């Protein structure tokens, strides 16, 4: 399905597809003659086969694919030990990711990866966001405090980034009690981080917000999209659930939620391996009435962002919103995200979803 969609796009707008594929390529490749760019675009799926084969033989040969393969899909590696299974999954993932990357953000904008930007957007619409108590300057290796330290756990998040890279969770009373103890813990944490995290301008210090007691730690992933007629719609809702950790990045289950009925439909289908999602029977059919309000807010915020134009991010046809039900029954909103990885999970998961995607969004909207 993904190959059919890819070559349909290539035939409809070869230059645009070629440019989209070469976005991350070296400068000499972007300056190559158009015929050569088009040839590369036509042969690009062959690279999927080669890299998937290398990944199957030895994942260490493809470190970037290995990170995305496990982090974005939350796939249990034990379920992918078979060579054929690993190869097929890696092949499908790459094809879907390239297609999603083509639609998610035609013009890349680093602003869209900034948590500060998203916190401002969310706060501007009255959404509750985790209170920020300070900001760690990576260059100065110091914290600029913004409020008094309360007896709450603290979550450290990279100001720009994704997939939880650089995250740190500190428990009040066990890891720290004073500002000085927190600063020392954070300093020790940063010394263990890879170079790409250390290059961050800053890290955000946020108070941990407790989740709904019944659901526990979870995350609603709401994807809003712009239809070909300019209207904004909710394209997809997933619920990550089932972890004893403080982060939803560790959730082992993912469910598809109907935004119209607010009911859990079943386990999320992802790249031909739905069996790798553990399923809690009690979650199936569960009604989540608060979801309607969250979806409506996501649509309003997306429309506002598109209306800004310019550097504010008009070129965001899809946005992935992260939110969680709080202990008091309201929502806490974490951020918005470009949908490169998130679109890949459902846009070509079946002929029906592909047909619906093309019907609402179009091939080249």
**Phi and psi angles of residue 205, each rounded to the nearest 5 degrees, phi first:** -105, 115
- Reported as a pLDDT band with limits 50, 70 and 90, residue 94 is low
The confidence score (pLDDT) of residue 276 equals 57
DSSP class per residue in 28-90: HHHTS-HHHHHHHHHHHHHHHHHHHHHHHH-GGG-HHHHHHHHHTTT--GGGG-SHHHHHHHH
- Asked if residue 23 lies in contact with residue 108, where contact means CB atoms within 8 angstroms, the answer is yes
Between 141 and 93, name the one with better pLDDT: 141
pLDDT for 3 beyond 70:
no
| Element spanning 357, H or E | helix 351-361
| Element spanning 256, H or E | strand 253-258
The confidence score (pLDDT) of residue 254 equals 86
Give the count of beta carbons closer than 10 Å to the beta carbon of residue 307.
9
Q: How far apart are CA 271 and CA 79, in angstroms?
A: 13
Q: What is the pLDDT of residues 32-74, one digit of tens each?
A: 777 777 777 777 777 777 777 776 776 666 665 555 555 544 4
Mean per-residue pLDDT over the chain, rounded: 78
Work out the angle between the directed axes of helices 14-21 and 2-12 (0-180°, nearest 10): 120
- Asked if residue 277 lies in contact with residue 270, where contact means CB atoms within 8 angstroms, the answer is yes
CA nearest neighbour of 134 among 145, 125, 120: 145
Between 272 and 260, name the one with better pLDDT: 260
| Element spanning 197, H or E | helix 195-198
Q: What is the pLDDT of residues 177-201, one digit of tens each?
A: 999 999 999 888 888 877 767 677 7
Q: Which residues pair with 168 in a beta bridge?
A: 156
The ranges assigned to domains in the chain are 2-104, 110-126+212-361, 132-207
Give the mean model confidence (pLDDT) for residues 334-356. Answer: 76
The confidence score (pLDDT) of residue 72 equals 46
pLDDT for 271 beyond 90:
no
Q: Which CATH class is domain 110-126+212-361?
A: alpha beta
């Amino acid at each position: 399905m993904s190959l059919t969609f890819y070559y349909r796009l290539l035939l409809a707008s070869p230059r645009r597809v070629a440019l989209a594929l070469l976005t991350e390529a070296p400068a000499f490749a972007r300056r190559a003659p158009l015929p050569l760019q088009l040839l590369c675009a036509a042969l690009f799926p062959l690279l999927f086969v080669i890299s998937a084969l290398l990944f199957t033989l030895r994942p260490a040969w493809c470190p970037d694919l290995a990170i995305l393969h496990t982090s974005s899909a939350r796939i249990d590696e034990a379920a992918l030990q078979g060579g054929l299974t690993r190869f097929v999954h890696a092949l499908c993932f790459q094809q879907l990711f390239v297609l999603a990357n083509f639609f998610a953000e035609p013009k890349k904008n680093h602003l869209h990866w900034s948590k500060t930007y998203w916190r401002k957007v969310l706060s501007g619409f009255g959404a509750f966001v985790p209170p920020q108590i300070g900001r760690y300057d990576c260059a100065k290796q110091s914290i600029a405090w913004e409020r008094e330290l309360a007896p709450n756990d603290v979550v450290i998040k990279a100001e720009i980034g994704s997939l939880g890279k650089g995250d740190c969770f500190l428990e009040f009373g066990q890891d720290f009690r004073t500002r000085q103890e927190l600063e020392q813990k954070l300093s020790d944490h940063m010394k263990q981080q890879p170079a790409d995290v250390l290059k961050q301008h800053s890290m955000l210090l946020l108070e941990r917000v407790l989740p709904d007691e019944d659901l526990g730690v979870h995350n609603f992933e709401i994807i809003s999209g712009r239809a070909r007629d300019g209207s904004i719609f909710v394209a997809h809702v997933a619920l990550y659930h089932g972890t004893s950790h403080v982060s939803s990045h560790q959730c082992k289950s993912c469910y598809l939620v109907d935004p119209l009925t607010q009911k859990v439909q079943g386990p999320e289908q992802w790249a031909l391996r739905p069996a790798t999602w553990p399923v809690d029977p009690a979650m199936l059919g569960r009604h989540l009435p608060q979801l309607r309000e969250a979806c409506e807010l996501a649509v309003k915020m997306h429309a506002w962002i598109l209306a800004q134009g310019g550097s504010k991010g008009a070129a965001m046809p899809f946005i992935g919103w992260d939110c969680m039900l709080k202990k008091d029954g309201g929502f806490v909103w974490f951020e918005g995200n470009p949908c490169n990885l998130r679109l890949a999970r459902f846009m070509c998961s079946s002929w029906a979803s592909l047909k619906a995607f093309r019907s609402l969004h179009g091939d080249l909207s």
